[in-house]
A and B are shown apart, each in its own frame.
Chain A
Amino acid sequence: MSDLTKLTLAEARDALRKGETTSVALTEACLAEIEGAGALNAFVHHTPEIALEHAKAADERIAGGDAPAMCGMPLGIKDLFCTRGVPSQAASHILNGFRPEYESTVTQNLWDAGAVMLGKLNMDEFAMGSSNETSTYGNAVNPWRRGNDDAQLTPGGSSGGSAAAVAADLCLAATGTDTGGSIRQPAAFTGIVGLKPTYGRCSRWGVVAFASSLDQAGPMTKTVRDAAIMLGAMAGHDPKDSTSADLAVPDFEAAITGDIRGKKIGIPKEYRMEGMPAEIEKLWADGADMLRDAGAEIVDISLPHTKYALPAYYVIAPAEASSNLARYDGVRYGHRAKLAQGDGIVQMYEKTRAEGFGPEVQRRVMIGTYVLSAGFYDAYYNRARKVRTLIKRDFETVFADGIDAILTPATPSAAFGLGEMAEADPVQMYLNDVFTVTVNLAGLPGIAVPAGLDGQGLPLGLQLIGRPWEEGDLLNTAEVMERAASFVSSPSKWW
């Protein structure tokens, strides 16, 4: 079979079961593509020995006739996931050399299902960023370009390496994590599918923590069906994460029936932002038409507190981050600064953290420290948590009124150039999350689906937001839209 790395998970699964290829062949094809894709800087730690070992075991299991859907699938793993014996440093200098003695629950679930680890993927440092430019490994690069312009574009962030690797067919699928849009925005920027599950669907154990009440792992794949297949293997209750939901994992793929007749799809008027590019506006209207043509009812809805989601997020997320990142003190793991004569433990902490954290992480830790400090806790942190309650209530109200899913743009623009935001205010970068961050604050599932190209030939995505725990229904609606949009473009290979 040719073009093995271009297969979807569903296609590869079927080919493996029919004996048309082997996991070793798939894995070797991916390793060769990765080898030739250094210019994308997507894979930052390569694990070919582990990959081939996993692949051989998968082939034996498949031959035995009792292999789950993910068996033999070569995957990329975001650097935020702890993987036993393999560098796992959240793209931060402060975790230089860190090799965990344990495996995250999500990756363990994938290996138990027979999946194959190709290596670790680039990302923004501690998942803080929207362009993969805060990584200690340097920028990941989007395989897409503006027409014939060879300017390098961002793959988005924070799961930028995951998005670039899947879009460039270096792996069949990848894991991502999403705290404010870090799966969905890069998926939209690279023309792939990215699913953030309901908070609690996937265990957070062993995933380096950014903002614990918002973080959620999810699949980044070539198709909606693949997202359903991979989520099934990632999800599940885990006694080691007290916030992981004790719910059975349904067969998400079986929920994809292609029938959305009678579903009510909400179009929230507050997402029509001032200065929204006409192309995004048109894409959004086209998406609504596709769902209407498939028999869904399109309903105008209001989510009145949308405007306040971004400022609330940028209080809550840094507050939690400042607390979570307190553990990086140069004592138990990672980097420790060289100390001068007479330096005590406080100097050790301060120098270690100044050297170890990049500028954006430092900024967020300090903002978080400020909003949690005595005298400001009520004014900022508690107020933001109250606004979060109101944002969640907005969604509960429309769902109670019978809305099944909500359709919005995934991002306010197509991928921008690396370095283009260098002079911008940090807040300008935060605006990338404007359509995605509400979903994290409300703990809902959301999916980005590629829906078209802009005038420069760059992919644009739409987002569907579902009811809590109804990823199956959400995936079904997303698959209908995916089929109607028939997005088949892929980046032409320049790397």
Chain B
Amino acid sequence: MSIDIDTARQVAHLARIAVQEDDLPELARELSGILTFMEQLNEVDVDGVEPMVSVTPMRLKRREDVVTDGGMQDKILSNAPDAREGFFAVPKVVE
């Protein structure tokens, strides 16, 4: 499977990473190389094999559905690049 420039552009957008138009051919080539390496997996007979969900068979723990933490707005916002009036600030989303 090889990735063309349009696919590389689409993947970069899905991943929300800006890639310059000039860099797309190289990106497509690299991604194609990695995917070719992965294609060895097609040699394996996986009929009837369950895809692994958890490496250690375990039942996820449950706890009571109650509030256990909170009331730390300052701490939550302390690392934000732009925090105003107790909120995270971002460019306008809704026109």
List chain A positions with a Cβ less than 8 A from chain B. 97-101, 198-200, 213, 239, 242-243, 245-246, 305, 307-308, 310-312, 314-315, 322, 326, 329-336, 339, 343-351, 353-354, 357, 362-363, 365-371, 373, 380, 382-390, 392, 425-427, 430, 441-443, 468
A333's partner among B15, B30, B80 (CB-CB below 8 A) is: B80
- Complex CA gap A345/B82 in Å reads 13
Q: Is the CB of B61 within 8 A of A363?
A: no
Q: With contacts A331-B90, A366-B27 known, is A390 near B46, CB below 8 A?
A: yes
Nearest CB in chain B to that of A98: its residue:
B79
State how many angstroms separate the Cβ of B34 from the closest Cβ of chain A.
6
Is B85 an interface position by the 8 A CB rule? no
Which chain B residue has the least Cβ–Cβ distance from A333?
B79
Query: Would you call B91 and A345 a contact (CB within 8 A)?
Result: yes
Q: Which residues of B contact A (CB under 8 A)?
A: 3, 7-8, 11-19, 27, 30-31, 33-35, 37-44, 46, 49-56, 58, 60-61, 63, 72, 75-76, 78-82, 88, 90-93
Residue of B nearest to A312 (CB): B41
* Chain A residues near B90 (CB-CB < 8 A): 331, 345, 348
Question: Is there contact, CB below 8 Å, between B49 and A97?
Answer: no
Other contacts beyond A213-B55, A443-B56: 19, CB < 8 A: A101-B72, A101-B76, A101-B78, A200-B58, A239-B63, A326-B16, A330-B81, A333-B81, A344-B92, A344-B93, A353-B17, A363-B34, A369-B14, A370-B35, A383-B46, A387-B46, A388-B52, A426-B33, A426-B34
Known A-B contacts A346-B16, A427-B34; the reply to A370 vs B61 at CB < 8 A is no
Given contacts A242-B60, A334-B81, A442-B55, contact A354 B91 (CB under 8 A): no
B interface majority secondary structure: loop
- With A312-B41, A373-B11, A443-B56 already in contact, the answer to whether A366 and B78 are too (CB < 8 A) is no
Closest-by-CB residue of B relative to A385 is B51
Show 5 residue pairs from A and B whose CB-CB distance is below 8 angstroms, ordered by the A residue.
Answer: A213-B54, A315-B38, A346-B16, A353-B16, A426-B34
Return the 10 tightest CB-CB contacts between A and B, nearest first: A443-B55, A385-B51, A333-B79, A336-B81, A350-B18, A354-B18, A386-B46, A101-B75, A349-B16, A369-B15
Which residues from chain B contact A322 at a C-beta distance below 8 Å?
15
Inter-subunit contact A246/B41 (CB<8 Å): no
Report the Cα distance A367→B11, complex, angstroms: 8
- Counting chain A CB atoms within 10 Å of each CB, the highest count among B35, B55, B81 belongs to B55
By the criterion CB–CB under 8 Å, are B81 and A305 in contact?
no
Q: Which of B14, B52, B80 contacts A373 (CB 8 A)?
A: B14
Cα distance, A305 to B45, chains bound together (Å): 11
Specify the chain A residue showing the minimal Cβ separation from B74: A101
Task: Assess the B31–A366 pair: CB atoms within 8 A.
Answer: yes
**Contact of B88 with A366 in the complex, beta carbons under 8 Å:** no
